[in-house]
Each structure stands twice: as C-alpha cells, then as structure tokens.
C-alpha cells in the first residue's frame, strides 16, 4: 500500500478549498463578482492573437454574405448607395410626420436631437463567442476608441447587427439582435418596400434555396406607403418573430394591409438612439395569420451575424454627448 | 508532468476554442452544438496523470474556459467563473475512477471517455447555473432543458473531435511529461 504523507493531504485540502471556492463563485450574484471582469478582459487580450487569425480563416471559409459579383462591382456599389439614400429618405419622412404632431418648442428640441451627429468606426470582428446562453461578437475596438456600452453596430452601413454589451480597453462585445438575450425589438414595415423579385421568381417571394443577402436589391414602388408596426422577438434560430399591427405613431396613416413575404422591416425602437432608426432589421420571410386575423411575421436579417468579418460601430460624435 | 508545456498547449487550445466554435458549429438554432477542444486535454491528463494533477489541471483549465465566455444579463455583462471549472473537475474525477478499466493509450478510449465525461461536466454546469438563476436577477431567464440537451450534443461532438485533438496531444505527450499514454499510477489520488 502506498503511504501518503501530510504533503499529500495538504494538497488535497487545497484542492477541495479551490473547488469550494469555484462553487461559491458560480453561485454568487453578478453584483459581487465584478472583479472577475478584469480577469475576463485579460483572458480576452491574451487569447486574441490566436483567436483573430482562426476567426479570419473561419470567415473566409464561411463568409457572412456571398461576395459581390466580380463582373459588375459598380452595379453592386450603386445598389448599396441606393439603400443608403433610401434609408435617409425614410428617416426624414418619419421625422416629418412626427414633427407635424408636436409643438413648436418640442419641434425645436427634437430637431436638435436629430442633428446629433454620429461618428462611425469600422472594426474587425476578431471572434465569436457562441455560448449556450448567447452568441456575442468580439470586436477589436474598445473604450480607447470611444466605444461605449449600448452603441449600435451595423453591417454595410444600413443593416442593424446589434448593440455593444460590454467594453474593455481594446475590445468590445456586440450582442446580435437575433440573439435571445437581445430581447424584443420594435420595427416598422413599409408596405411599399420589398426585395426586388429575382428573375423567374413570383412577386419577389422568397424561396427556400435562396435566402436574401445584403447585396439583394430592395425596391420601393412609391414613397409614403402605409406602415405596419411589429414587436419582434428573437426566436433563437437566427430570426425574429412577432405580431404586426397598424402604426399608431402621430401623423401615420392607418394601415389595413397585411404584411407580405419579401417586405423589409426597419428599426424604430425607443431603446435605440434616434439616429439609428430606419436601419434595416431584415426581410419578412414568413407570415402567419392567427385565428383572430392578426398577422405574425418572421423576419430574417440579410446576413449571418457570426460570420461577419467586420462591422461598423455608430458612436456619438461628441463623446460627452448623451 | 511538465506544467510549462502543458500550460502552453492548454493556452493554444483555449485560444482556439471560441473561433473553432464558430467554424465547427452544427445547427442554425440557438444554442448550437460545438466541440470543446480544451476538454479533450483535460480528459487525456485525467487518463494518464496522477489524480491530483488531473484534478488541478481540470480546475485551472475549467476556470480559464469560463473566463473566455462572458454572459449578458438583462442589465449587465459579467464574467461567470465556476460552472465550467467545477464541471471539468467532476468530469476529471469521473475519468480517474474509470481509467483502470480502459486502454489509456488508445485514441478510441479517449474519444469514448470524452463523451460521458463531457456530459457530466455539462450536467454539473447546468445544475449550478439553474440554481444561480433562482436568485440572481442578472442571469435572466435560464432555459435549463434546452441548454442541457445542447451540452449533451456537445459531449457527442467533443467525443468525435477527440480523435483529431487527442492524436495531436498524444504526439506531444513526451514533451508534456505524460509518457506514452500508459500513465504511471492507477489510483484516484495516486
């Protein structure tokens, strides 16, 4: 029989103490374990040099969106510019409706708010943290670059990716809008705006073998169509789903239309800065009619969040601004 | 056991873990399924090293594993250390009790042991997270059932990838001071 001395017993005691400490840390509420964030940030810094190249390789193997057609780069660029301008038009249109319903004083204050300039920084996604609880994108831009908590992240300027949730000196974490932890999102659907129909497809409808991508063209037959409001919740399957109702915002025209597959959902949520409104949330890929007659839509973003190689963070131009 | 080379290998596997999750993830629904690369190292050490060394390795690698994945609650983002570490220790303890019955120098044995060990690690972690969710508002809603199923899927996936990861680890075994995989002792705390 092997004889075990006091040193062995002491080591075993330390091990048991360490395990007990880990159990305690696992159960202590987050407000008591804030010091662990410092260690987590250092762990992130230490692993980033290995993490980033592997993620770059992964993004290359599984890109976020198909590359633009090499034979018509100018066309693709123009389509992207059209999307940007269209977003600006919708934003201005929404502001106009709202301003008409407000007093002169409020109009002035709101006008000042709308003029709040934003600064955009494009930063590489150096990793994805797909965990059981949520999928976070690790981005190489942190408080040293002016990134603040809850800053809005976008892809190709107009596609909403999510919000910053956790910032360290050099990196930050972005929680995608499709993650279950992101919570409910208010969106507006313009009934006259939809994906351009593909050649051979009927009425711009989506089919199972061709998901829309960020370079899919969007057409609006006329500006100022009726609007629907959707309260979208992440499904955990890369989509958002929720009931649709008429837009009851001041100045909005009552809509009796029901949403259709291919329509575009845009952000209009009080929890996001106003300058982020009208960013594209995704495209309606499914419409279910409930027995009550109410429509429930499923919206899918036009990119895959955990395949993004880089994204843009929208920050206040003046860091001291609220 | 040489701690420095082992630490370097653990660092490399841990650093590769988040990106490998993105690359090797199966399933489009949340939570998906992915392999735990560093866990294979923990199981290998538990198969061939002394019991104390195996448990300490599991504890340290598990704690580092926890630090890599912050959680987002309803009001705050926080690092959560413990569930992975305790789960890894439980898994390593399971392996040390089992290793007398398996051919420790076999990749098939490593892969086969990885599956139940990872399932145990997942079960322990889910239990701790579920208990925590009862009283910590920052945890938010915790879907214990779906998370447990996902972790069981990860256990199977980890077992499948253990062939490749285990092959690399076994190549480095002499450098790690882990011999040829036969181990020096068979006792749980030898």
pLDDT mean across residues, chain A: 76
Q: Provide mean pLDDT across the span A274-289.
A: 87
The lowest-confidence range among A104-113, A288-297, B17-26 is A104-113
Which tokens go with B58?
A: 């599991």
- Tokens 């504890």 correspond to B59
What would the pLDDT profile of B145-170 be if each residue is shown by its tens digit?
888 888 898 999 999 999 888 888 88
Interfacial B residues in 96-125 facing A (CB < 8 Å) = none
Contact A64, A307 (CB under 8 A): yes
Highest mean pLDDT: which range of A9-13, A118-122, B165-169: B165-169
Name the packing angle between helices B51-68 and A6-27 (round to 10°). Answer: 20
Which tokens go with B110?
A: 């490593």
Q: How far is residue B188's CA from residue B190's CA, in Å, rounded to a whole number?
A: 6
Which tokens go with A265?
A: 């959902």
Distance of CA B185 to the CA centre of its chain: 22
Which tokens go with A79?
A: 């389509």
Among residues B187, B189, B170, B190, the alpha carbon closest in space to that of B179 is found at B170
**φ, ψ of residue A164 in degrees (nearest 5):** -70, 130
Which tokens go with B14?
A: 């841990």
Neighboring chain B residues of A50 at a CB cutoff of 8 Å = 11-12, 15-16
Q: How far is residue B35's CA from residue A130's CA, in Å, rounded to a whole number?
A: 12
| A87 in contact with B, Cβ within 8 Å | no
Identify from A60, A127, A133 which residue to disrupt to test chain B contact, counting B C-beta atoms within 10 A and taking the largest count.
A133
Mark the ranges of chain B whose per-residue pLDDT is less than 50: 180-190
Q: Provide mean pLDDT across the span A119-126.
A: 86
What residue of B is the nearest CA neighbor of A4? B190
What would the pLDDT profile of A69-89 be if each residue is shown by its tens digit?
556 666 777 777 777 788 778
Neighboring chain A residues of B124 at a CB cutoff of 8 Å = none
**φ, ψ of residue A290 in degrees (nearest 5):** -80, 165
Bridge partners, A275 (sequence order): none
Please judge whether B80 and A26 are an interchain contact, meaning their C-beta atoms are less than 8 angstroms apart: yes
| B29 in contact with A, Cβ within 8 Å | yes
Q: In the A/B pair of chains, how many CB contacts fall below 8 A?
A: 176
Q: Provide mean pLDDT across the span A11-40.
A: 86
Q: How far is residue A170's CA from residue A150's CA, in Å, rounded to a whole number?
A: 16
| A26 in contact with B, Cβ within 8 Å | yes
| A165 in contact with B, Cβ within 8 Å | yes
DSSP codes joined into one string, A121-190:
EEEEEEEEEE-SS-EEEEES--GGGT--TT-EEEETTTEEEEEEEEE-SS-EEEEETTSGGG--EEEEEE
- Tokens 């202590």 correspond to A28
Which tokens go with B88?
A: 């890894």
3-class DSSP state for residue B78? strand
Cα–Cα distances (Å) from A3 to A144, A277, B46, B50, B122, in that order, read 57, 72, 22, 15, 35
Bridge partners, A315 (sequence order): A119
What residue of A is the nearest CA neighbor of B29? A237
Q: Is the pLDDT of residue A4 over 80?
A: no
| Amino acid B92: pLDDT | 94
Q: Provide mean pLDDT across the span A9-16.
A: 84
Q: Which of A25, A55, A134 sits opposite B81 (nearest CB)?
A: A25
What would the pLDDT profile of A227-245 be if each residue is shown by its tens digit?
889 999 998 888 999 999 8
Interfacial A residues in 105-124 facing B (CB < 8 Å) = none
What would the pLDDT profile of A163-218 be if each residue is shown by its tens digit?
998 888 888 999 999 988 888 999 988 887 777 665 544 444 444 445 565 555 55
Q: Is the pLDDT of residue A27 over 70?
A: yes
Cα–Cα distances (Å) from B1 to B50, B148, B179, in that order, read 9, 34, 9
């Amino acid at each position: 029989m092997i004889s075990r001395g006091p040193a062995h017993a002491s080591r075993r005691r330390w091990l048991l103490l360490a395990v007990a400490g880990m159990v305690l840390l696992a159960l202590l509420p987050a407000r008591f374990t804030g010091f662990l964030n410092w260690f987590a940030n250092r762990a992130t810094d230490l692993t980033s040099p290995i993490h980033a190249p592997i993620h770059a390789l992964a993004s290359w193997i599984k890109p976020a969106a198909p590359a633009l057609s090499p034979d018509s780069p100018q066309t693709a660029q123009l389509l992207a510019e059209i999307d940007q301008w269209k977003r600006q038009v919708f934003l201005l249109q929404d502001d106009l409706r709202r301003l008409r319903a407000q007093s002169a004083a409020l109009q002035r204050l709101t006008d000042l708010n709308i003029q709040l300039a934003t600064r955009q920084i494009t930063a590489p996604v150096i990793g994805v943290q797909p965990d059981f609880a949520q999928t976070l994108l690790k981005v190489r831009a942190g408080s040293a670059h002016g990134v603040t908590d809850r800053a809005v992240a976008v892809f190709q300027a107009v596609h909403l990716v999510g919000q910053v949730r956790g910032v360290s000196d050099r990196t930050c974490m972005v929680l995608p809008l499709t993650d279950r932890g992101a919570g409910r999102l208010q969106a507006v659907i313009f009934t006259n705006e939809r994906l351009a129909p593909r050649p051979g497809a009927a009425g711009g409808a989506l089919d199972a073998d061709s998901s829309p991508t960020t370079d899919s063209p969007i057409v609006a037959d006329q500006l100022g169509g009726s609007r629907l409001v959707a309260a979208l919740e992440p499904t955990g399957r890369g989509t958002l789903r929720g009931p649709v109702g008429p837009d009851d915002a001041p100045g909005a025209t009552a809509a009796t239309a029901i949403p259709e597959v291919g329509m575009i959902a845009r952000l209009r949520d009080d929890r996001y800065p106003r300058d982020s409104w009208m960013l594209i949330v995704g495209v309606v890929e499914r419409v279910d009619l409930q027995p009550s007659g109410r429509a429930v839509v499923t919206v899918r973003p036009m990119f895959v969040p955990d395949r993004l190689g880089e994204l843009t963070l929208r920050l206040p131009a003046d860091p001291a601004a609220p | 056991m040489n701690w420095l080379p082992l630490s370097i290998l653990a660092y490399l596997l841990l650093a590769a873990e988040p990106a490998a999750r993105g690359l090797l993830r199966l399933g489009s629904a949340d939570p998906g399924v992915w392999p735990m690369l560093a866990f294979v190292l923990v199981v290998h050490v538990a198969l061939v090293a002394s019991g104390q060394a195996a448990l300490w390795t599991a504890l340290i690698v598990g704690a580092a594993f926890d630090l890599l994945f912050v959680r987002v609650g309803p009001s705050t983002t926080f690092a959560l250390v413990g569930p992975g570490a305790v789960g890894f220790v439980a898994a390593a303890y399971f392996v040390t009790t089992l290793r007398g019955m398996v051919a420790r120098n076999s990749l098939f044995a490593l892969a086969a042991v990885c599956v139940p060990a990872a399932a145990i690690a997942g079960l322990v972690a889910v239990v701790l997270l579920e208990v925590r969710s009862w009283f910590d508002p920052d945890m938010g809603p915790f879907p214990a059932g779906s998370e447990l199923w996902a972790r069981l899927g990860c256990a199977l996936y980890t077992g499948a990838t253990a062939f490749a990861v285990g092959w690399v680890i076994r190549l480095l075994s002499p450098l790690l001071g882990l011999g040829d995989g036969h181990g020096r002792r068979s006792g749980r705390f030898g």
